[in-house]
Chain A
């Protein structure tokens, strides 16, 4: 009993330490986001200082640019953060919708049907992820500029499929395969064709997999850098590219950058904590007798 208590204390201690280790960067970023520039660069680092919300106001474009009338003063323009945020939401939402819509059907076919070259097709999907984006970006850019997809939401959503579609197809395939064949057979006896089986039986039963796919695709899309850098332009700039605006040629705007980072992770945190509730295991336990 005593031994167990010490063990628990020790576990709690190390877990607390680990949590602090994980959370410290966020704490540090938060501190930076409420500091004025001279406090950000102060050495030794300041933990007690007069906080400011100017960084947030500036990042969101709410701070009125002060007019400097005398002398030479650096006056960086505020970043288009709000616009970038909306761009990110549109692009990532579209990407996930498209890749789940198309990918789930493809995965269903790969999981449930028998046809020629099935494994080759599945492998082809996976092979989209083999080459690093830089290997295909120049031809892709060239094609996009020619056919007018450059700097458009549709173009970016299509481009992002290279990242999210293989993931969707392979994860959903595994999820569909986990639905026991007997359930499908029972549904067939009850008069389902493959489409109703997909909609009413297999998709609801693979909800866990679907949720995982949505979360992962969204995260990958939200953090994608190379594609929007090259095939996106000034009006479709998503957050990872807008984040660069804080690195100017003459200074790095650490305060606003930290504010932007914290604002940018909000949707991820909300989205994931909301969606995690759907990650329920064992929906099919006991559905069949073996």
Chain B
């Protein structure tokens, strides 16, 4: 009797294991490629400490079982990862076969010959099941920003597929629903309304807490220009570069934008905001100290989680306010790219294909990897319901008409954005006027761009 119970128990466990494992693999085994064609190879993947990484690391044994390829990992935080990646690529050592990157950075890597474009792998039926991988399932603007012909200042959206996206970040206006309701305000739809509302709310007390009206990054790096100042510039019809890649950010629209941005932080922002990076702003907003905040929309996961946020359920989400040319936003996409110095590129591609497939992307968003890059993930019933419960806006609107890579492709775009960040800091700290700071930035940025001009 006892024995038969044990047998039944063992049988049950085996059955469950079998069902569970076959369930996990069912999707991939139906793919029309031979997953085991590169059995025995090994690859090294360099990743940023990121929800995407946290969610796929536990799944990697499944990939190894599926393909027989062994996968090594190195995970570092963003800044340090970029440093190490630069050393690896610049020395041609090729430790990483696959690495995390995104637009802007990939332009530099591609121009230097450090990045292997993916077209030949995508178009090889032996290596890619295009029907199952489904490129059209990616939001189109996102895929476009991962393509570039390599021409200076143009050709984005055409030519080489430099990388495949795995996470999207556009910039939105977070606001406190409870504060706006108590103050009898509606969500600001123009930048001037935002300024006026933020100043009005500053130093008032809500829910027992004295708040500031507005917060956003003020630190001296590329961040402020990319995540919030740029959105005002584009929505007012401005731009950093003209068609011939001349810097035009110091025209009246640019100057007005810098002045406005410095003014809202000075009048409605917290003390010491010139040192605030994203986590300072995010934690402050999550602790309920600010009414408005513009930054990356994927912070929704932190704000909606009651264990990390004191304002869960009270946060509203809106696209950035409209300017003279409507609502516009830049965007950043964490992606996976292949090193040109990899010695097992085909195995690397199998991994990239697996990691950015519909199945894995859906599993990863459940562990916090917002916002989705694939339509199938965005319209998954569970995700639709969660976003609705959060009061989150329609991602489709955001990703098809609002957010895109707003700056033209050039190898030195990263550095030029850092230079603009420095100019903004000068204005924020009232060391120089916006006109003078931007005029100076123009000289430096044109110098940076000069070597790539033909």
Interface residues in chain A, defined as those with a beta carbon under 8 Å from any beta carbon in chain B: 36-38, 40-43, 68, 71-77, 137-139, 141-142, 145-146, 150, 229-230, 233-234, 241, 244-245, 247-252
A43 and B289 contact, CB distance less than 8 A:
yes
Selected contact of B80 from candidates A37, A72, A244, CB within 8 Å: A244
- How distant is the Cα of A95 from the Cα of B334 in the complex, in angstroms? 38
A73 and B368 contact, CB distance less than 8 A:
yes
Query: Of residues 77 to 100 in B, which have CB atoms within 8 Å of A's CB atoms?
Result: 77-78, 80, 83-84, 87-88, 90-95
Residues in A with CB closer than 8 Å to B318 are none
B368 and A145 contact, CB distance less than 8 A:
no
Residues in B with CB closer than 8 Å to A74 are 51, 301-302, 305, 308, 367-368
A41 and B310 contact, CB distance less than 8 A:
yes
Interface-centre pick from A230, A234, A251, A252 (highest chain B CB count, 10 A): A251
Given A249-B50, A250-B302, CB of A72 within 8 Å of CB of B366:
yes
State how many residues of chain B have any CB contact under 8 Å with chain A.
Answer: 56
A145 and B93 contact, CB distance less than 8 A:
yes
Residues in B with CB closer than 8 Å to A250 are 50-51, 298-299, 301-302, 368
Interface-centre pick from A139, A142, A248, A252 (highest chain B CB count, 10 A): A248
**Would you call B376 an interface residue if the criterion is a C-beta within 8 Å of the partner chain's C-beta atoms?**
no
**Would you call B365 an interface residue if the criterion is a C-beta within 8 Å of the partner chain's C-beta atoms?**
yes
A247 and B77 contact, CB distance less than 8 A:
yes
A137 and B310 contact, CB distance less than 8 A:
no
Given A41-B287, A145-B93, CB of A72 within 8 Å of CB of B386:
yes
B75 and A76 contact, CB distance less than 8 A:
no
Query: Of residues 41 to 74 in B, which have CB atoms within 8 Å of A's CB atoms?
Result: 48-51, 54-55, 57-58, 72-74
Query: Of residues 285 to 318 in B, which have CB atoms within 8 Å of A's CB atoms?
Result: 286-289, 298-299, 301-302, 304-310
A43 and B77 contact, CB distance less than 8 A:
no
A75 and B50 contact, CB distance less than 8 A:
no
- How distant is the Cα of A241 from the Cα of B90 in the complex, in angstroms? 21
Given A71-B386, A77-B58, CB of A245 within 8 Å of CB of B49:
yes
Residues in A with CB closer than 8 Å to B243 are none
A244 and B77 contact, CB distance less than 8 A:
yes
B77 and A229 contact, CB distance less than 8 A:
no
A234 and B73 contact, CB distance less than 8 A:
yes
Closest to A254 in B: B283
**Would you call B284 an interface residue if the criterion is a C-beta within 8 Å of the partner chain's C-beta atoms?**
yes
A249 and B78 contact, CB distance less than 8 A:
yes
Instruction: Give B296 Cβ to nearest chain A Cβ, in Å.
Output: 9
Residues in B with CB closer than 8 Å to A137 are 87
Residues in A with CB closer than 8 Å to B301 are 72-74, 250
Residues in A with CB closer than 8 Å to B299 are 250
How many cross-chain pairs have Cβ atoms below 8 Å apart between A and B? Answer: 132
**Would you call B370 an interface residue if the criterion is a C-beta within 8 Å of the partner chain's C-beta atoms?**
yes
Residues in B with CB closer than 8 Å to A36 are 307
**A–B Cβ pairs within 8 angstroms, 21 of them:** A38-B310, A40-B283, A41-B287, A41-B310, A43-B209, A71-B366, A72-B366, A72-B367, A73-B366, A75-B367, A138-B87, A142-B91, A142-B92, A229-B76, A229-B84, A230-B84, A233-B72, A234-B72, A234-B73, A244-B77, A251-B302
Instruction: Give A64 Cβ to nearest chain B Cβ, in Å.
Output: 14
Residues in A with CB closer than 8 Å to B288 are 43
**Would you call B124 an interface residue if the criterion is a C-beta within 8 Å of the partner chain's C-beta atoms?**
no
A249 and B93 contact, CB distance less than 8 A:
no
- How distant is the Cα of A68 from the Cα of B306 in the complex, in angstroms? 13
- How distant is the Cα of A251 from the Cα of B391 in the complex, in angstroms? 21
Closest to B389 in A: A71
- How distant is the Cα of A138 from the Cα of B334 in the complex, in angstroms? 26
Selected contact of B308 from candidates A37, A72, A142, A146, CB within 8 Å: A37
Interface residues in chain B, defined as those with a beta carbon under 8 Å from any beta carbon in chain A: 48-51, 54-55, 57-58, 72-78, 80, 83-84, 87-88, 90-95, 209, 279, 282-284, 286-289, 298-299, 301-302, 304-310, 334, 365-368, 370, 382-383, 386, 389
B370 and A75 contact, CB distance less than 8 A:
no
Given A76-B54, A249-B49, CB of A141 within 8 Å of CB of B91:
yes
Selected contact of B95 from candidates A40, A77, A145, A248, CB within 8 Å: A145
Residues in B with CB closer than 8 Å to A142 are 91-93
A72 and B48 contact, CB distance less than 8 A:
no
Given A72-B383, A248-B54, CB of A41 within 8 Å of CB of B90:
no
Given A41-B284, A41-B286, A72-B370, CB of A138 within 8 Å of CB of B74:
no
Given A72-B386, A74-B308, A247-B77, CB of A138 within 8 Å of CB of B90:
yes
Instruction: Give B34 Cβ to nearest chain A Cβ, in Å.
Output: 29
Interface-centre pick from A37, A72, A145, A248 (highest chain B CB count, 10 A): A72
Residues in B with CB closer than 8 Å to A42 are 287, 310
Closest to A247 in B: B77
B282 and A73 contact, CB distance less than 8 A:
no
Known: A141-B87, A248-B77. 15 other contacts (CB 8 A): A36-B307, A40-B283, A71-B386, A72-B367, A72-B368, A73-B367, A142-B92, A145-B91, A241-B80, A245-B49, A245-B75, A249-B77, A249-B78, A250-B51, A251-B282
- How distant is the Cα of A250 from the Cα of B289 in the complex, in angstroms? 19
B368 and A77 contact, CB distance less than 8 A:
no
Residues in A with CB closer than 8 Å to B73 are 234
Given A72-B366, A72-B383, A234-B75, CB of A249 within 8 Å of CB of B87:
no
Instruction: Give A50 Cβ to nearest chain B Cβ, in Å.
Output: 14
Considering the complex of A and B, which 8 residue pairs feature the smallest CB-CB distances, nearest first?
Answer: A74-B368, A249-B50, A145-B93, A41-B287, A142-B91, A41-B283, A244-B77, A247-B77
Interface-centre pick from A68, A74, A230 (highest chain B CB count, 10 A): A74
Closest to A76 in B: B54
- How distant is the Cα of A234 from the Cα of B53 in the complex, in angstroms? 14
Residues in A with CB closer than 8 Å to B382 are 71
Closest to A146 in B: B93
B87 and A230 contact, CB distance less than 8 A:
yes
B284 and A43 contact, CB distance less than 8 A:
yes
Closest to A69 in B: B366
Residues in A with CB closer than 8 Å to B48 are 249
Instruction: Give A240 Cβ to nearest chain B Cβ, in Å.
Output: 10
Residues in B with CB closer than 8 Å to A230 are 83-84, 87
A247 and B49 contact, CB distance less than 8 A:
yes
- How distant is the Cα of A76 from the Cα of B87 in the complex, in angstroms? 27
Instruction: Give B112 Cβ to nearest chain A Cβ, in Å.
Output: 14
A252 and B283 contact, CB distance less than 8 A:
yes
- How distant is the Cα of A214 from the Cα of B286 in the complex, in angstroms? 45
Selected contact of B74 from candidates A40, A43, A77, A233, CB within 8 Å: A233
Residues in A with CB closer than 8 Å to B54 are 75-77, 248
Residues in B with CB closer than 8 Å to A141 are 87-88, 91, 93
- How distant is the Cα of A139 from the Cα of B289 in the complex, in angstroms? 48
Residues in A with CB closer than 8 Å to B307 are 36-38
